Amino acid sequence: MTEQPKNGQYRVHVRTGSTVAVVLKSDQRTGRLTRGIVKDVLTRAARHTRGIKVRLQDGQVGRVREILE
């Protein structure tokens, strides 16, 4: 079995409490990253090409681009 690259496209890599860099909906055009801690994982699928959608502890919602652990 091959190891999946550890990035924000796979739900198994995104855990509650992880520090991540996300792109907020309002920043999709610029690609600006926002750093935060995952409160809830919102995407149900095992993989998403644009990144797993999460809610950060401060309430912001975005798609994970990087896992910063």
Query: For 15-64, what is each residue's pLDDT tens digit?
Result: 999 999 999 999 999 999 999 999 999 999 999 999 999 999 999 999 99
Alpha carbon distance 56, 1 (integer Å) = 32
Q: Report the DSSP beta bridge partners of residue 37.
A: 19
Alpha carbon distance 40, 31 (integer Å) = 22
The whole-model pTM stands at 0.89
Residue 58 is which amino acid?
D
Please state, as a whole number, how many other Cβ atoms lie within 10 Å of the Cβ of residue 12.
10
Could you confirm whether domain 11-67 is CATH 3.40.50? no
Residues in the chain: 69
pLDDT of residue 5: 60
Domain ranges of the chain: 11-67
